[in-house]
Structure 1
Amino acid sequence: MALPEGGTEQPLSSLSWRPMRPDDIDAVVEVARLSFPDHFEDRACFQNRLALYPRGCFVLADGDEPAKGYLIAYPWRAEAAPPLNTVIEGLPAEPALIYLHDLALHPDARGGGVTRAVVERLAEQAEADGWPAIALVAVNDAVGFWTRHGFQARDIAGLEEKLASYGADARYMIRAL
C-alpha cells in the first residue's frame, strides 16, 4: 500500500530510519491504523513480514522511542500483489523484484519529506542485491507521491480483481533499478 499524502506537522529532526525490530510492531500497527483505516492489517501480518524478510523492514523513530513511521518490503513475483491482511507462508521460490508492501507515517511525522530517505535506501539496497525493480500498489490517491519517487503506473492484465480489494483508486506501480 502507499502512503496517503498530506500531513501537518513540521519535520522532526530527531527522527531517523532504522531497521525494524519485533518490539516495534505495536507502534507499527498503530501507525498503520491511523494511515490506512480502510485497509486494515493486523499485528500478525506485520510480524509475518518482519520474520520473512527483516532486511526490508524499517521504522522512523527517535532512537528507541515508538515508531512514527515504517516501510515494509520483501522479494515477490512480478506483476502480482499479495492479498491484504494475510499471513504469507513464505517468500516465492523464484521472486522477480522487491515488493514495497507498505510505507506509512504517523500524522505527526507527515509533510517533512522524511520518506525520500527510506525509499532511496530501499532502492539502493535492492539494486546492490541484484533486484531489477521495486513494485507496489498505490492507494489513497498516492500515485502522484510515488511518481515523484520514480515509480510508474502499469496496467497489468489479470491483476484488476486483486487490485479492487485495495480500493477503487489502487494502481500497480514499478520503479526500475
Structure 2
Amino acid sequence: MGDWTWRSMEERDLVQVVALADRLFPDHPEDAAHFGERLALGARLCLALSDAHAGVAGYAVAYPWPLGRVPPLNRSLAPVPSAEGAAYLHDLGIEPALAGAGQAGAGLALLIGRMREAGLHDLALVAVNGTVRFWERHGFRSCAPSDATARTLASYGGEARYMIRTL
C-alpha cells in the first residue's frame, strides 16, 4: 500500500495533515493556522509520512517547549516561552490502515534523532484516547502536573496524561 517515508513536513502538507488530524482526533480539533504556527516553530521537528502517489498518511508535530507546561489546544502559542532544552510532541497521527506497521515508532525515532542533533534532551506530550501504554512502550513516563498545568491538561479530556521521555 505505498512506499511510505518519513520526511520533514512542508507547508504544502498542511491541508492533508489537518484533514487527517480531524479524522483521528475529532475531540481535539485544531485550526490549520495553528498547525502552520507549530510547523514554523518546530521546523525540522515536524514530520510527514508520505508516499509520492498517495500523499500524506501520517504526521508528527513537535516544537521547542518548556517541560511542565502544556500548550493550549487550538490557540496561538505566542508569546513562545524559552524551551530550555525540551520539546513538546503536539501530535503523532497515522492513518488507521497503516497501524501496526511500525510507522509510529519509525517517525518517533527520526524525531528523537533530530532532537539530539538540535541539543534537545527531553520530549513531553499529552497522551489522549487511551494511548498511555503505547507511549510507555516508547520510553515515556507519566508525570504529575502542577496546578496550573492541570487546568490546561483538563482541556485535553479527563483521561489525558502528561508524559515525558528523557533522551
Distance of 2:89 and 2:78 partners within structure 1: 18
Match of 1:111 among 100, 104, 116: 100
TM-fit CA distance, 1:65 = 4.1
Q: Identify if the C-alpha distance between structure 1 residues 156 and 96 changes in structure 2 by more than 3 Å, giving closer, same or farther.
A: farther
TM-fit CA distance, 1:63 = 2.6
Counterpart amino acid of residue 34 in structure 1: R
**Contact 1:16/1:60 (CA < 8 Å) preserved in 2?**
yes
**Contact 2:64/2:86 (CA < 8 Å) preserved in 1?**
yes
Match of 1:169 among 153, 156, 159: 159
- What is aligned with 1:81? 70
Higher relative contact order (CA 8 A, sep 6+): 1
2:124 aligned counterpart, secondary structure: strand
Question: Where does the alignment leave 5 or more consecutive residues of structure 2 unmatched?
Answer: none
Residue correspondence of structure 1 range 8-47 to structure 2 within 5 A? 12=1, 14-47=3-36
TM-fit CA distance, 1:109 = 2.2
Distance of 1:28 and 1:138 partners within structure 2: 19
**How many aligned positions are there?**
166
Distance of 2:154 and 2:88 partners within structure 1: 18
**Contact 2:127/2:163 (CA < 8 Å) preserved in 1?**
yes
Distance of 1:65 and 1:48 partners within structure 2: 25
**Contact 2:5/2:50 (CA < 8 Å) preserved in 1?**
yes
The sequence identity of aligned pairs, in percent, is: 42
- What is aligned with 1:62? 51
Counterpart amino acid of residue 170 in structure 1: A
TM-fit CA distance, 1:53 = 2.1
1:50 aligned counterpart, secondary structure: helix
Counterpart amino acid of residue 136 in structure 1: L
- What is aligned with 1:52? 41
**Contact 1:34/1:107 (CA < 8 Å) preserved in 2?**
no
2:78 aligned counterpart, secondary structure: coil
- What is aligned with 2:135? 146
- What is aligned with 2:119? 130
**Contact 1:27/1:67 (CA < 8 Å) preserved in 2?**
yes
TM-score by length of 1: 0.88
TM-fit CA distance, 1:132 = 1.9
Over aligned residue pairs, what C-alpha RMSD do you find? 1.5
Distance of 2:111 and 2:38 partners within structure 1: 15
